[in-house]
Structure 1
């Protein structure tokens, strides 16, 4: 079976609710918006506004921590909210397709709201990671219905649960980015406490299809590993080009099949007529 055939089969499984799509910033970039579409680009944007020390420069989580520590959290929030307050320039073929097929769950690991906009008008709900900065309660996530109203917990009756583990870079929302944001999450994530029970339930017996993701950063590997934990074997990742040593190790660890295809191959596969 060719790599394109494997991709087409995996997409069919997502549509049938048998596999979970896990989206990275590469998918968000398909919208053609002006917001940063890689951790490196977002880090550079922050550093354009706040000069970070050399020891932190180039590392998104460390630069965000420096801004939070030296310029206060409100400064970091404004930079990120402004960065992602960008008009979408073009339809996003993957977001739009997911909104049409309405699978049980989609994981979206970037900070934009493109996926939420694509699902507007359908039966869905949102669970997003939140920063504990300024919080006085034991909280890792918040839950919202499709109207944007906060509710106590995800509804098992939702047709689709949208899970944004790193949060949302939008005014009035929250996100994880600084080292201190992740301290308690990483302390508890191995026992799965930061991952809502409904997310754990919907991943059961379903492998993942990773699209637009790279795993050249320990934070990204940790979250992907723990979100995919106790799901099902048979993960697939569309990851073109040269991989780092740690990416190779990560794919081996999760027994993940890598497809050396550009993300545009997904659009091609979605355009293939059924038959």
Structure 2
């Protein structure tokens, strides 16, 4: 008998094995260690794992990563949908519908207002059909070349995250905690530390007096580049284009890549780095949202970057 229920105690080794088998690609191997970090610590609010069982044996799931979002000056309980997978032998439209129905029931029961997703093409249609998620943002992919090395005097810090102590990292990050007046995911020093403490990924941290950048080295189709995961502006500071360029160049220098890539919106920046990649070459990333308190999609985010999703 197939059941769909919240999994109170997650066996991450089993979950990683099932996820790898369900995706069925030699290029996709899930890490139990990373899943544990992602579900328990990555966004500072924990998660709910909705699993599919066949006579007590796990055969699929969807994860709900709980997040702290500010909208209109109020903190709003939010969850982001990730990691939907079902073993091939169990896939059916009826089971997918059951999973989404249970997701909605759990969100209502837990007083969650916003349901967020940054889906792939298949999940986009499922989210819209079964949960009525609508388009919130489209994030064009932007790219550029970091030609010139920055002057050291402009930088307060530029180095690998894992070389920092927890206390030093939190002390630096705390100066860039997001204000309640800014619509979007909320971050403080401890939350940013936990977000970057991914056991399978390396990040770098770059800062001027009033601007912080998180970056990472990535490779797509054989091309290596510095991925600009997120910018954070010190509260009440006004940032000019100079520090944005300086930190972008610092990221390229640290990772030894001339190419950088950014995707996101951030109204605190004077302009976004790089040039928009034509949609025919790389379609924009879609952010979906549903407000469970109303049928109208009347929500605005001032900031949403890759660091706000499980994409990086």
**TM-score normalised over the length of structure 1:** 0.30
Structure with larger Rg: 2
Structure in which a larger fraction of residues adopt strand: 2
Specify which structure has the higher proportion of helix.
Answer: 1
